[in-house]
């Protein structure tokens, strides 16, 4: 039909071209393994991505091939985010914290052809070297000359880049071609692969940059603590490039002290990471105060941000927390919890209640909650159901995995495995994972709510609640608690008294045990599977 818009494929090269054209002088900075800061611009990135695309072409990488990355957050890793898809190949970010068997499984399952490895991570990768079947070349990043390794066919990133041309003949790709791939962190069974397309990531980038979502602008300086292997660093490298925001990559420097330094000295405006990171940073800032007032949004997701920590940041450090929810399978952005106009007259305490929720669906993501029969439940703020989502950046099936279909409904929704309520005004609040809910005498107990309530006690640093078997009630809650360094003489009884006026009586944990650390998964979530095993082994009393 005449008069229609042009056919403009939504491919990622256009995001990079836009950054190069509009924001050539904006910087991408990296704290390198040796502590020095490497800086260059979007114009430099543009040139280097073309070199990288030529490097890959010279190595025989073809459209559709998977190329693995085993790396910290660095400018080279950003080059891979654009350079691998530029060839129509798939940037497969490998989780550096997987157990060796899982890592080998993931590389072999994806059939990676080339893998890029940060030299500092080489020993971790070498543990699986003899199990890998398809990798033809390994490319080391930041490796000293003459480094010894038992990996076969090893090349050096900068050598290859120096030899390649910095002019690449950009391809016209199908917007539905795959561009990236992440495996789930797999707390049960093998990790499962989610494959992102140019179109899905492009739309995700636009979605993420809306003012009602994360709303990055060219005045932002974004610190990406979330690893690039965790759901493509939540899409932030693309969102930064498209909006002209500056990126700061912390490399391996993920401890609270260097992060506090970076935020203060670089005048970071937006920082993104999981709650554990911000918990550590908060304690560091209490010990060694620094000026972090440049931060306009501390984006937090991956697990529930305790309400008490939101309050502490906002009240004591004047930093605004932006709670978001998503999954590897949803690219990841699903919901964000920004206050709406009708919240403005609420008290601070009421506002923190809202910010502790996971929030409303960003445009193009649809959410619903359903009961066990799959019937949709009301948005009344109290009815709990399983969260299902759909949208252009939500997975349709898993990569090369037969039989995972129970996670997809017949009418095209993805079953998240999260349980939540949704309020009348559309704010979702996650109460649990289906497998973590505690069923006591036929009634549900939310482990997340118990944890949040416990973590509001000033002596509690972290708390994880699991179900333990019980003859009478089928299951009862057990709370594993980590106390703060300055907590003195706090007893289980005192914590139970603290909880008593705040939760239903039958929710009160039968056992409260004190431990040194909550075990964490490869992406920093409470690993309740390990806690349950410890309990079964008699280690938790």
Which residues form the interface with ligand AMP (CB under 6 A)?
184-185, 231, 301-304, 323-328, 332, 358, 416, 418, 430, 433, 523
Is the Cβ of residue 496 or residue 532 nearer to ligand AMP in the bound state? 532
**Token representation of residue 203:** 């739309």
**Nearest-approach distance from CB 37 to ligand AMP, in angstroms:** 29
**Nearest-approach distance from CB 165 to ligand AMP, in angstroms:** 38
Task: Residue 453: count other Cβ atoms within 10 Å of its Cβ.
Answer: 23
The dihedral formed by the CA atoms of 161, 162, 167 and 172, expressed in degrees to the nearest 10: -20
Is the Cβ of residue 209 or residue 331 nearer to ligand AMP in the bound state? 331
Catalytic hit among 170, 379, 444, 473: 444
**Nearest-approach distance from CB 16 to ligand AMP, in angstroms:** 25
- CA gap 466, 510 in Å, rounded: 11
Is the Cβ of residue 301 or residue 391 nearer to ligand AMP in the bound state? 301
**Nearest-approach distance from CB 52 to ligand AMP, in angstroms:** 27
**Nearest-approach distance from CB 300 to ligand AMP, in angstroms:** 7
**Nearest-approach distance from CB 245 to ligand AMP, in angstroms:** 22
Catalytic hit among 217, 383, 439, 491: 439
Look up tokens 């090349």; give the residue: 155
Residue nearest to ligand AMP (CB): 328
- CA gap 384, 439 in Å, rounded: 13
10 Å CB burial of residue 113 (0-12, 13-18, 19+) is: buried
Is the Cβ of residue 478 or residue 523 nearer to ligand AMP in the bound state? 523
Q: Walk across the sheet containing 366-370 and list its strands.
A: 366-370, 385-390, 414-422, 428-433
Please give the biggest Cα pair distance in the chain: 78
Catalytic hit among 175, 311, 312, 329: 329
Is the Cβ of residue 193 or residue 251 nearer to ligand AMP in the bound state? 193
Catalytic hit among 93, 184, 328, 335: 184
Is the Cβ of residue 42 or residue 183 nearer to ligand AMP in the bound state? 183
**Nearest-approach distance from CB 366 to ligand AMP, in angstroms:** 16
- Contacts by residues 151-160 (CB-CB < 8 Å, ≥ 24 positions apart): 151/117, 151/122, 151/125, 151/126, 157/76, 157/116, 160/55, 160/58, 160/59
Active site residue 184: yes
- CA gap 329, 418 in Å, rounded: 13
Look up tokens 């409260």; give the residue: 512
**Token representation of residue 111:** 């059939």
Look up tokens 């965790």; give the residue: 230
- Rg over CA atoms, the chain: 23
Is the Cβ of residue 89 or residue 327 nearer to ligand AMP in the bound state? 327
Burial readout 78-94 (b: 16 or more C-beta within 10 A, e: otherwise): bbbbbbbbbbbbbbbbb
Triad 230, 231, 236: Cα angle to 5°: 100
Helix axes 13-22, 42-58, angle to 10 degrees: 150
**What are the DSSP E strand ranges found in 330-380?**
333-336, 360-361, 366-370
152 torsion bin: left (phi>0), alpha (psi -120 to 50), beta (else) = beta
**Nearest-approach distance from CB 21 to ligand AMP, in angstroms:** 33
Active site residue 329: yes
Q: Residue 340 belongs to what H/E stretch? A: none
- CA gap 113, 133 in Å, rounded: 9
- CA gap 188, 170 in Å, rounded: 41
Is the Cβ of residue 175 or residue 418 nearer to ligand AMP in the bound state? 418
Residues serving a catalytic function are: 184, 329, 439, 444
């Amino acid at each position: 039909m005449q008069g229609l818009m042009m056919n403009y494929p939504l491919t990622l090269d256009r995001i990079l071209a836009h950054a190069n054209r509009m924001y050539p002088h904006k910087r991408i900075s990296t704290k390198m393994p040796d502590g020095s800061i490497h800086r260059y611009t979007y114009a430099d990135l543009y040139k280097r991505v073309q070199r990288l695309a030529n490097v890959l072409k010279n190595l025989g990488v073809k459209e559709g091939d998977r190329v693995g990355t085993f790396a910290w957050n660095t400018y080279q890793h950003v080059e891979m985010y654009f350079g691998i898809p530029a060839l129509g190949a798939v940037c497969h970010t490998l989780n550096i914290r997987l157990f060796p068997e899982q890592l080998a499984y993931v590389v072999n399952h994806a059939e990676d052809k080339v893998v890029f490895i940060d030299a500092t991570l080489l020993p971790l990768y070498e543990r699986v070297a003899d199990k890998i079947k398809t990798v033809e070349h390994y490319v080391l990043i930041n490796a000293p000359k003459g480094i010894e390794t038992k990996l076969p066919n090893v090349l050096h990133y900068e050598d290859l880049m120096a030899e390649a041309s910095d002019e690449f003949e950009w391809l016209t790709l199908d917007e539905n071609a795959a561009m990236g791939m992440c495996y789930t962190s797999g707390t049960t069974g093998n990790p499962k692969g989610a494959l992102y397309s140019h179109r899905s990531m492009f739309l995700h980038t636009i979605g993420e940059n809306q003012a009602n979502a994360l709303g990055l602008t060219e005045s932002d300086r974004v610190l990406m603590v979330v690893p690039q292997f965790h759901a493509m660093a939540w899409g932030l490298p693309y969102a930064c490039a498209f909006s002209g925001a500056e990126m700061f990559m912390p490399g391996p420097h993920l401890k609270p002290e260097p992060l506090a330094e970076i935020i203060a000295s670089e005048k970071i405006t937006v920082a993104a990471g999981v709650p554990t990171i911000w918990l550590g940073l908060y304690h560091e800032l209490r010990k060694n105060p620094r000026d972090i007032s440049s931060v306009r949004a501390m984006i937090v997701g991956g697990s529930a941000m305790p309400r008490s920590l939101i309050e502490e940041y906002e009240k004591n450090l004047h930093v605004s927390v932006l709670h978001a929810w998503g999954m590897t399978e949803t690219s990841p952005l699903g919901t964000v919890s920004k206050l709406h106009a009708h919240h403005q007259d609420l008290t601070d305490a009421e506002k923190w209640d809202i910010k502790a929720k996971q929030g409303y669906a960003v445009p193009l993501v649809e959410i619903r909650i359903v009961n066990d029969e799959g019937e949709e439940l009301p948005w009344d703020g109290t009815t709990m159901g399983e969260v299902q989502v759909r949208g252009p950046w939500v997975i349709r099936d898993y990569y090369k995995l037969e039989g995972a279909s129970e996670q997809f409904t017949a009418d095209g929704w993805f079953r998240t495995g999260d349980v939540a309520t949704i309020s009348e005004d559309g704010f979702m609040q996650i109460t649990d994972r289906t497998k973590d809910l505690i069923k006591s005498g036929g009634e549900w107990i939310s482990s997340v709510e118990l944890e949040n309530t416990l973590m509001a006690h000033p002596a509690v640093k972290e708390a994880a609640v699991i179900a333990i078997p019980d003859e009478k009630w089928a299951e009862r809650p057990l709370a594993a608690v980590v106390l703060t360094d300055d907590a003195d003489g706090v007893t289980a009884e005192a914590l139970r008294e603290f909880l008593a006026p705040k939760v239903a009586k039958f929710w009160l944990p039968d056992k409260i045990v004190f431990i040194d650390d909550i075990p964490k998964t490869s992406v920093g979530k409470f690993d309740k599977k390990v806690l349950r095993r410890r309990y079964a082994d008699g280690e938790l009393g």
